[in-house]
Amino acid sequence: MKKKILILHGPNLNLLGIREPEYYGRLSLDEINRRLHEKAAIYGLEIECFQSNGENVLVEKIQAAYGTVDCIIINAAAFTHYSIAIRDALKAVGLPAIEVHLSNIDAREEFRRHSVIADIVMGRITGFGASSYLLALTAAKELMEKNE
Ligand code: DQA
């Protein structure tokens, strides 16, 4: 059975391509997802990519991952910095999670330096643009192999 990875994109990431390209690059979310699907096929992983601007929608999606998904890759975007609901949902389902950011959040405004999920994820990849997601997928693949 193929391992399934859920890739979550938080608020405003649907605007990638036009949104502050100096931080987030010029690739659209569709293009990033296409590249993720391409790499997942090479790795023999099943992936689902999902974006929402709503905290409650992301919480529901994390809850629904319980028992159906093996690992979560999450760019919670602005929710990273304050959503206890997303943190609690990740903790509740107990799935291994990897935190991703396109920009280097430690090199930006002070309020971005704090992540409320940093201590409950397996690890964090931040600052490599779209490659952050692809690196996270590689990390997920290795994690899945280790857990087999
Ligand atoms: C982001 C960084 C967050 O601080 C910001 O709110 C985002 C995107 C990133 O991918 O660099 O929306 O998560």
What pLDDT is attached to residue 90? 98
Neighbours of 59 (CB within 10 A): 19
**Structure-block tokens of residue 137:** 């997928």
Pairing of strands 97-101, 4-9: unpaired
Partners of 101 in the β-ladder? 126
What pLDDT is attached to residue 1? 86
What pLDDT is attached to residue 5? 98
E strands in the chain: 4-9, 46-51, 71-75, 97-101, 123-126
What size, in residues, is the chain? 148
Task: Name which residue leads in pLDDT, 148 or 114.
Answer: 114
Is pTM beyond 0.85? Reply is yes
Mean pLDDT of 100-124: 97
Task: Kindly list the strands in the beta sheet with 123-126, ordered across the sheet, starting from the edge strand earlier in the chain.
Answer: 46-51, 4-9, 71-75, 97-101, 123-126
Domain range for 100 is: 4-146
CATH, residue 72 = 3.40.50.9100
Overall number of domains in the chain: 1
5-32 residue pLDDT tens: 999 999 999 999 999 999 999 999 999 9
Q: Is the pLDDT of residue 130 over 90?
A: yes
Please state, in angstroms and rounded to a whole number, the distance separating the CA atoms of residues 12 and 105.
Answer: 16
- Nearest residue to 19 via CA among 73, 75, 86: 75
36-84 residue pLDDT tens: 999 999 999 999 999 999 999 999 999 999 999 999 999 999 999 999 9
- Residue 35: pLDDT band (50, 70, 90) is very high
- Residue 39, exposed/middle/buried by CB under 10 A (0-12, 13-18, 19+)? middle
Task: Tell me which residues have their CB closer than 6 angstroms to ligand 1.
Answer: 12, 75, 77-78, 80, 101-103, 105, 112
Pocket test for ligand 1, best of 24, 125, 128, 135 (most atoms within 8 A of CB): 24
Mind telling me the catalytic residues?
A: 24, 101
Q: Is the pLDDT of residue 147 over 90?
A: no
CA of 3 to the centre of ligand 1 (A): 27
Please state, in angstroms and rounded to a whole number, the distance separating the CA atoms of residues 128 and 24.
Answer: 9
What pLDDT is attached to residue 148? 77
Mean pLDDT of 83-108: 98
